[in-house]
Amino acid sequence: MTEASFRTELDADGILSVVWDMPGRSMNVLTAEAIDELGRVADRVIADEAVKGVIVSSAKKAFSGGADLTMLEGIARLYATKKAEDGEKAAAKAVFDESRRLSQLYRRIETCGKPWAVVIHGVCLGGAFELALACHYRVASNDPSTRVGLPEVKVGLFPGAGGTTRISRIMPPQDALQMLMKGEQIRPDKARAMRLVDEVAPQAEIVERARAWLKTAPKAVKPWDEKGFKLPGGPVWSKAGFMTFPAANAIYRRETQDNYPAIRGMLQAAFDGLQLPMDLALTVESRHFAKVLRSPEAAAMIRTLFVSMQELNKGARRPKGVPEIRLAKVGVVGAGFMGAGVAYVSAQAGLDVVLVDRDQETADKGKEFARKLISDQVVKGRASGAERDALVGRITATPDYAALGECQLVIEAVFEDPKVKAEVIASVEDALGEDAIFASNTSTLPISGLAKASKRPENFVGIHFFSPVEKMQLVEVIVGDKTGDVALATALDYVRMIRKTPIVVRDRRGFFANRCVIAYLLEGHLLLTEGVPAAMIENVAKQAGMPVGPLSLNDEVALDLGLKILRATKKQFGPIAIPPAQEKLLTALVETEGRLGRKNGKGFYDYPEGGKKRLWPGLSALQEIKLDPETIDLTELRNRLLVTQALEASRTVEEGVITDVREADVGAILGFGFAPFTGGPLSFIDGMGAAAFLALARSLEAKHGLRFRPNALLTDLAESDETFYGRFASPTAAAAAEAA
């Protein structure tokens, strides 16, 4: 039997080998066509008496990343089409029927009466791992690349092909819910301990281990289909159940502020399903999944955090016609916190790194920082000692600029001073080859201005990392006035190598992310000066979907840096460019109170050694006005904190800083955590509708000032009844919309 995605071969023992190998793809994904093919394989297994058992494997480097979420986008769009044609009831049924096809197929595999084994090497995630869970035996390789997991919550969904229901029966509900809510990728040994896989073996042995199990003529019946099956954690209404589900609901609300329908639906599916027989439980899971799938939150998160992010990671913004740049050796100048982090992620990606600073001792400190980071991973079981030694061995620490001579790319991460950077540029270029690319990690200084110190401005580009480098996924690639295509392509290829997500921005003050962040911090400062209690500001920000409040975020950035930027803005554009109340607040905190933020243990918060941070009690003394919390409109507070960021994102599109709307939304979520459930600031505007957002912004402008004045582009979109994604659709999005 030959299919496009699955190759099958029956051996003399009656074991059918099913090899998943989608042509033209580097990784297998579950498309509608692949699901149909797997269904035909299942039909053959059931009907063919010669087939005694099945081994499912992958011919790719990894097993599978799961379902093609563009397929799920199509199912969600089906609702609108069907509703217009046949009404809401028919539309809801159509989505339900279509979205449960995979769940029904997996249940057919599970109950077909013949044993299925699956062998897993590399990542096996989402719908692919739900296939593995439906099989009767799972063997995983012990390779460092192997991971299993159900990460659907990270894109606004939950495991809806039986994953939620099966996990809730494999392990106690408190463990199951923790796994499902985190969406983590799990290493093989841990997966075995959690009963997610049955056996772990070297890659060369996994198929034979599965074959050996099949030759024992095992029963092809899952525990939950046998009479007398008892749930691992006891019934939902038991004492243990009462201790689990109310607490899980409280944790969900604390962590998400009830902004994520997928997690709520998953909790409900698990709770309801554990009270029902397996087939009914799967039906209930499918109903909740279908409802979540057609939610605006799921649509926004799938588009931004899967489709757009995947396109950007694959080089959507890479200049056409420039051959791939294969980097082997990079240089980093500046071995401080940022530079050491850049050296670490570069070495982690397999690159040789030359780390340069003013003297050997300082350079060595940067290398030692990288050693500490990888050593922490070893302690946590996420890396081996050999991997640590290899990574550290790839970093050469030196004060000698001549060591940069063979580097194809050099990134400077020195002090934010144009004179200091100009000196570094000159020293580096004296050592570099003609074709090497120079990048600045500046977060505030214009790239075009810095490039004036370069002999080769066409080879000069900005690569702006976020702190801490090893954790933050976003990188802004900044194009100066004279930056050439090769420099841009090199920067994008490098960011891809270190497994981060790039956005390309034009060279303007603050670039993209910092502009939006500064607007957010400003609003927090002004709310405080208006008399809003600090705790209320922070809590409402979290309720709005931000990961941390503006005051906490400012502590991380550093208050003295904020004051420095404020005064630089005042000097360049005049007093009218800054709010006096904000300057007064930061001056009092930094210069009078000596509160610089987390870096010196005191900012808006106190950071006691060994204890939890807490808001500084002295903040109330800095408030000349103190509002009664009962009189404060929480909805208005929430709107102010989100609208100010969305307006700034809209302005960056109008000014040409952002030239691809996907990058604004991806960049906002990855860079500063803009409420992920909205899909990003431009999706937030589109979801509300430009006219409604315009009216909201104008009402805030009338009450709170010009910073809420809508820009011309936003006004034009509202008047023409358009959206950002409608007017500025990427080629991929346009094709999808046309197909729909």
Q: Which residues are catalytic?
A: 464
What residue type is 289 in one-letter code?
F
SS3 for 623? coil
Q: How far is 312 from 667, CA to CA, in rounded Å?
A: 11
- Phi then psi dihedrals of residue 332, to 5 deg: -130, 125
Return the CA Rg of the chain: 28
**Count of CA atoms in the C-beta half-sphere (13 A) of 513:** 27
Q: How far is 65 from 61, CA to CA, in rounded Å?
A: 11
DSSP track, 128-155: HHHHHHHSSEEEEE--TT-EEE--GGGG
**Count of CA atoms in the C-beta half-sphere (13 A) of 74:** 13
Do 529 and 626 meet the contact criterion of CB atoms below 8 Å apart? no
First-to-last C-alpha distance (Å) of the chain: 33
- Sequence-distant (6+) residues with CB within 8 A of 718 are 690, 691, 693, 694, 710
Sheet (strand 53-58) strand order? 6-10, 15-20, 53-58, 116-120, 137-141, 199-201
Among residues 134, 485, 499, 155, the alpha carbon closest in space to that of 322 is found at 485
Whether a cis peptide bond, with omega within 30° of 0, leads into 468 is: yes
Q: How many CB atoms lie within 10 A of CB 227?
A: 4
SS3 content of the chain, % helix, strand, coil (to 5): 55, 10, 30
Q: How far is 161 from 152, CA to CA, in rounded Å?
A: 11
Q: How far is 369 from 441, CA to CA, in rounded Å?
A: 18
* HEC profile of 643-683: HHHHHHHHHHHHCCCECCHHHHHHHHHHHHCCCHHHCCHHH
**Count of CA atoms in the C-beta half-sphere (13 A) of 359:** 2
Q: Write the burial class of residue 704 (CB in 10 Å: 0-12 exposed, 13-18 middle, 19+ buried).
A: middle
CA separation, residue 300 to residues 150, 285, 381 (Å): 19, 22, 35
Structure tokens at 443: 């977060």
SS3 for 3? coil
**Helix axes of 634-654 and 712-719: crossing angle, nearest 10 degrees:** 100
CA separation, residue 569 to residues 149, 416, 573, 706 (Å): 47, 15, 6, 17
Q: How far is 699 from 706, CA to CA, in rounded Å?
A: 11
| Distance, C-alpha 476 to centroid of its chain | 15
